Amino acid sequence: AAAYGSSVRQILKVNEFDSANQVKPGMRIVVPPPSFAELFANVPMGENGVPEYPVVPTEGKWISVDLNHQRTYAWEGNKLIKKFAISSGKSRTPTVTGDFRIWAKIPSQTMEG
C-alpha cells in the first residue's frame, strides 16, 4: 500500500472490504492513487460504497457526470473547461454517478465490451 502512496485502510475502504483477510492471492483490487485516497480518507460511505455526501475537488482536473441532463462536465479547479452530451448506461449496466478526479490519462483506448 505504501509503495503506491496509499494505506491498507484506504484500499479496504475503496474495495468495500471489512478486513485485509478478505483479500486473496490473484484477486483484482483497486489501489487508489494518493489524491483519490486522500479525497475519500475521511468520507463516511453509505450503501454500495457511495459517499454519504458529495466530495467535489477544489483543485486539479476532474469531471462531473449529470445523468438527468445526459451531460459530462470537465473542470480545472472550479473553472468549467468543457461540457458535452453523453449516452449513459442501461439499468443492467448503469453509469456510475458523481464527481471524479482524473489521476491518469490514456492516449488511446479501444472501447469494447
Tens digit of each residue's pLDDT (9 = 90 or more) over 81-91 = 888 898 888 88
Task: Give percent of the chain with pLDDT exceeding 70.
Answer: 58
- Confidence check: pLDDT of 22 > 80: yes
- Confidence check: pLDDT of 77 > 70: yes
pTM of the model: 0.40
Residue 63 and residue 72 in contact, taking contact as beta carbons nearer than 8 Å: yes
- Confidence check: pLDDT of 94 > 80: yes
Residue 6 and residue 34 in contact, taking contact as beta carbons nearer than 8 Å: yes
- Residue 39 pLDDT: 57
**Beta bridge pairs of residue 101:** 62
Task: Tell me phi and psi for residue 81, to 5 degrees.
Answer: -100, -40
- Residue 100 pLDDT: 67
Q: What span, in angstroms and rounded, lies between the C-alpha atoms of 37 and 30?
A: 11
- Per-domain residue ranges of the chain: 1-55, 56-104
Q: What span, in angstroms and rounded, lies between the C-alpha atoms of 3 and 64?
A: 29
Task: Give percent of the chain with pLDDT exceeding 90.
Answer: 4
Provide mean pLDDT across the span 18-34: 83
- Identify the residue with better confidence: 44 or 54: 44
Going by the DSSP 8-state scheme, the letter that residue 25 receives in this structure is: T
